[in-house]
Amino acid sequence: MTVAAELVARVEAGDRRALARLITWIEDDDPRAHAALAGLYPRTGRAHIVGVTGAPGTGKSTLVSALAAEERKRGRSVGIISIDPTSPFTGGALLGDRIRMMEHIADRGVFMRSMASRGSVGGLSVSTSDAVRALDAFGCDVVFVETVGAGQAEIDIVRTAHSVIVIEAPGLGDEIQAFKAGILEIADVFVVNKADREGADKTANALKVMLDVGNTMKQRRGDGPARVPAPSAAEAGHHGAREGNFPAEAYAPTTDATEWRPPILKTVAAERRGVIEVVDALDAHWRHLRESGAITQRERERVEDEVRQLLGRTLTRRCVEAGGLERYAALVDAVTARALDPRGAVEALIGAWVAQRKEAG
C-alpha cells in the first residue's frame, strides 16, 4: 500500500491523526496530499459547508464555537477550519482561535484545525478547499470555515461554502465600512453579534437598508438571483418565544416567493443567545439549496473556480520549474531593471515550459 493509500484508509476509518497529517500535507502542498485527496474525492460532497466571515473583533470564533455546540445537540459531527493571516514580514502566524473553542476539545464529534494564510497567491483558497474536503471525507456533517473578511482572498474562500454567514457587531465604527468590500452580496445569513450592546438595532437597520437598496437595484436590472424565502418569523417562532432568545427577524418582504432573503439575526454568542435561530437559518438555507436545485449551480461554480485556480497555480509552478529558479529570478531582475516588461517575462517563462514539453516528447 502506498503512503497515500494508507492515509486514505485511515482517514476513512476515522483516524484523527491521519486527518491532521493529511491537512498538514495539504498546507505544505505535498504531492502525497494530492494522491490522498484523489482517493478521497469520491467520498466527498456530503458535508454542509458554512463560511463565516466578518471584521476582526465581531466574535467569529465565539459564534462558530456556539454554532458547533448547537450542531452537536442536533446530532451532527462538526469540522472547523479557522484561518488567520500570515505575517507578510516574517512568514509566521499566531493562531489563537482555539482559545474560544477549547470547550469542544474532549468531544470526538468536533475536529478543529487552525490554518495560516501563508500568502501564496491563489493558494489559500485551494488549500482551504482541500482541507474542507478532507473533513468532508472524514465524515463531518457540517464544516465551518472561519476567516477575517478583509480581502479578496477571504471572499474567495467563503465563496467556496454552501452557506455564508456575514457577522457584524455594533460599535465598530461607520457601518458603511463593512459594506464596501462586496461582502454584503455573499451573505446568506447576517448575524449582528454582541446584540446586548448599544447600537445593535442601528447596525441591524443599516444592514436592512443596504439590502433593500441592493435588491431594488437587482430588480430594476432584472438579474436578481433565483432565491426562496428565509424561514419566516412564524416558522422560527417555536424558538423565538423562548426567554432570553432574540426573535428571528425576517427581513423586508419581497414579492418573489422563489427568492432567498438573507435573514438578519441578532446574537450574543458568548452567552449562546440567538444561536438556535442561526442554526435554523443555516438548515433552512441548506434545504433551500437542495430543494430549489440551486445547489447544482453553486457546486458547479465552485468546482470551476477551483479548477481555474489550480490550473493557474500548476502552470505557474511548471513554467517556473522548467526554466529553473535562477532563470526565474533573473527574469524578475530584468523586469525590475526595465530591461524587460512583465508580459515579456511571462512569455519567456511559458516558452521555457513549452520547450521542455517538446524535448520530453
Residue ranges that bind other proteins, judged by CB under 8 A: 16-17, 20-21, 23-25, 27-30, 86-87, 90-96, 98-99, 102, 105-106, 111-114, 116, 118, 120, 317, 320, 325, 328
- To other proteins, the closest distance from the beta carbon of 28 in angstroms equals 5
Strand (E) or helix (H) holding 168 = strand 163-168
Q: Are 285 and 188 in contact (CB under 8 A)?
A: yes
- To other proteins, the closest distance from the beta carbon of 236 in angstroms equals 34
Cell of 350: 511559458
Q: Which residues of 92-130 are buried (b: 16+ CB within 10 A; e: fewer)?
A: ebeeebbebbeebeeeebbbbbbbbbbeeebbbbbbbbb
Which CB, 92 or 173, lies closer to other proteins? 92
- To other proteins, the closest distance from the beta carbon of 119 in angstroms equals 11
Cell of 262: 438573507
Which CB, 25 or 190, lies closer to other proteins? 25
Which CB, 18 or 63, lies closer to other proteins? 18
Q: Are 66 and 269 in contact (CB under 8 A)?
A: yes
Which CB, 28 or 212, lies closer to other proteins? 28
Q: Are 4 and 12 in contact (CB under 8 A)?
A: no
- To other proteins, the closest distance from the beta carbon of 148 in angstroms equals 16
What is the distance between the alpha carbons of residues 62 and 271, in angstroms, rounded to a whole number? 10
- To other proteins, the closest distance from the beta carbon of 295 in angstroms equals 29
Q: Are 142 and 165 in contact (CB under 8 A)?
A: no
Which CB, 23 or 157, lies closer to other proteins? 23
- To other proteins, the closest distance from the beta carbon of 123 in angstroms equals 9
338 CB contacts (<8 Å, ≥6 apart)?
Answer: none
Which CB, 129 or 203, lies closer to other proteins? 129
Instruction: Residue count of the chain, please give it.
Output: 361
